[in-house]
Copies of this chain bind each other. A is one copy, B any other.
């Protein structure tokens, strides 16, 4: 199993949409930050501050990225980039396990 070594984990969860989207924050020695999260089936809109790379660890969802007019399906093993200070929409079909890396 892949793991992140010698990191810090913030104990308290980040909880959104009545718990249908939750994550834990992982802090790295180089100052970088990731969240490991779960999204239950549903439709969501998120806003970014920093740019992000979303990596799909499990599940399937449709994504509408900013500036695009077509939804695209992402599955386990795939990644997509989200620009800073933008909004994107998700339709989660099956429980999504993800890793979000912040570029800042």
How far apart are the CA atoms of A58 and B5 in the complex, in Å? 27
The one of B3, B12, B22 in contact with A1, judged by C-beta atoms closer than 8 angstroms, is B12
The one of B11, B26, B40 in contact with A2, judged by C-beta atoms closer than 8 angstroms, is B11
SS class of chain A's interface: helix, strand, loop or mixed? strand
The one of B2, B3, B7, B36 in contact with A13, judged by C-beta atoms closer than 8 angstroms, is B36
Residue A18 lies at the interface, judged by CB distance under 8 Å to chain B: yes
Total interface residues on A, using CB and 8 Å? 29
Residue A46 lies at the interface, judged by CB distance under 8 Å to chain B: no
Interchain residue pairs with CB less than 8 A apart (15): A1-B11, A1-B12, A3-B10, A3-B11, A4-B8, A7-B7, A7-B8, A9-B36, A11-B99, A12-B58, A15-B38, A22-B22, A24-B36, A38-B38, A40-B40
- Using a CB–CB distance below 8 Å, which chain A residues touch chain B? 1-13, 15, 18-20, 22, 24, 26-27, 36, 38, 40, 57-58, 95, 97, 99
